[in-house]
Amino acid sequence: MTKAVFTTKVTPSYKDLPEDRYHFPRTYLNHVQQTLGDYIVYYEPRRSSAELSSRGGRQSYFGAARVMSVIEDTDMPNHYFAIIDRTTYLDFDTPVPFQEGGQYYESALEKDDGTTNKGAFGRAVRLIPDAEFDRILKSGFAPVLVEALSTEAILPGFSEPPEVFERPMVEMLVSRPFRERSFMHNVRSAYSNRCAMTGLRLINGGGRPEVQAAHIQPVTSKGPDSVRNGLALSGTVHWMFDRGLISIGDDYKILVATNHVPEDAARLLNQNGSINLPEDEALYPNAHYLKFHRDKVFKG
C-alpha cells in the first residue's frame, strides 16, 4: 500500500464523484492499484473542465479518502474506476496550494533549479511518501486543529493539545469527533453561517453561529462527511429535515410532506420555495445524496 495524489476537475469529464469513485485511464492502473487499502489526497487543477481553454480550478489539494477497490469502466475501454470508501472521505477545512512560499508539498514537482516539473505535474495520479501526505493534511485541516489546541476539551483524546500536530493524520481522519467538527466547520463556511432553508443567520453572544451542519444522506446510511452531502440548517429545520418532513428536489426547490408540517413551521421556510446555495458551485448539494433523502427519508 502507498499513498497518492488523485487529480480531479471541478466539473469532471466523466461520472466522477470524489466521495464515491475516481475515473482514470489504463496509464495509471499500476499506480492506483498500489493505493488499495490506503489513503489518497485529491488535487484540483487549473482547468475546471475537459475543455483545454477552461480555467477556474484552485490548483489546490482539497480532500482525502481511502481507496477500496478498482473496477473496469464497462462503458469505456481501457478506463477504470477507483472505488472510494465514502465513510472515509473528508473535505479539507482550507484548500492547500501545491506550493507555498516557494516550497512544494510534493518534492517530485520541484526541479533541481527550483522551478515546477511540468512533466510530473501533468500526471493525474502521483505516488507520494507518507511524510508529504501528512504535511498536506496538516495544512488542510489546520483551522480545526488550531481550534482544538485553543479549546483543549472539545475533542476526546486532545487532553494534551500540543501533541495534536505530532499524531499521524490518518488517526485523525478516522476519529468521529474530529470528522464531525471538520464537517461542521466546512458546511457552515460554505453557507456563510446562514440556514439554507430559512435564510436566518444568527450569531450568539460568544460569536458562534446558531446554524447546524446536517447530513443529507445520514452517516448511519454511509453518507460521507462532504459539503456536497451537507446543508447548513437552523435547529428546528434540521429536526424536520432529519425526520423527512421536508426535503429538496434536484432543482433545489424545498419539498414539504403533505399534512406533516404545521402551517406555522412552513412559514419559516424561504418564501421563494428554493434553498440558499453556496457561492462555490462545486459545493452545491449533490443530486446523488438528494435522491437518497427523497427516496429513503422524505415522507412526501
- pLDDT tens-digit series, residues 170-223: 788 888 888 999 999 999 999 999 999 999 998 876 678 889 999 999 999 999
pLDDT computed for residue 100 by the predictor: 86
Write down the domain spans for the chain: 3-128, 181-296
C-alpha cell at 227: 459539503
**164-169: long-range contacts, CB 8 A cutoff, minimum separation 24:** 165/138, 168/134, 169/133, 169/134, 169/137, 169/138, 169/141
pLDDT grade for 262, boundaries at 50, 70 and 90:
confident
Question: Would you state the pLDDT for residue 208?
Answer: 80
Task: Name the residue with higher pLDDT: 155 or 148.
Answer: 148
Q: Are 260 and 299 spatial neighbours (Cβ–Cβ below 8 Å)? A: yes
Task: Tell me the pLDDT tens digit for each residue of 38-75.
Answer: 999 999 987 655 444 445 677 899 999 999 999 999 99
Return the pLDDT at 282: 85
The set of residues, in sequence order, having a beta carbon less than 8 Å from that of 291 and lying 6+ positions away, is 250
At position 175, the amino acid (one-letter code) is S
Q: What single DSSP character describes residue 274?
A: B
On average, the pLDDT of the chain sits at: 87
Cα–Cα distances in angstroms (integers) from residue 73 to residues 14, 25, 26, in the given order: 11, 9, 10
State the pLDDT at residue 137: 93
Share of the chain above pLDDT 70, in %: 87
pLDDT in tens, 70-84: 999 999 999 999 999
| Backbone torsions φ then ψ of 160, nearest 5 degrees | -125, 80
Phi and psi at residue 31, to the nearest 5°: -65, -45
What CATH class is the domain 3-128? alpha beta
Helix axes of 176-190 and 142-151: crossing angle, nearest 10 degrees: 120
Q: What is the biggest distance separating any 2 CA atoms in the chain, rounded to whole angstroms?
A: 69
- Amino acid at residue number 130: D
Q: Phi and psi (nearest 5°) for 200?
A: -70, 140
CB 146 within 8 A of CB 152: no
Q: Is the pLDDT of residue 238 over 80?
A: yes
State the pairing for strand pair 246-248/254-256: antiparallel
CA angle 81, 83, 88 (to 5 degrees): 145
Calpha distance 136→41 (Å, rounded)? 8
Q: Read out DSSP for 175-195?
A: -HHHHHHHHHHHHHHHTTT--
Element (H, E) at 140: helix 130-140
Q: How far apart are CA 77 and CA 98, in angstroms?
A: 32
Cβ burial, residue 226 (10 Å; 0-12/13-18/19+): buried
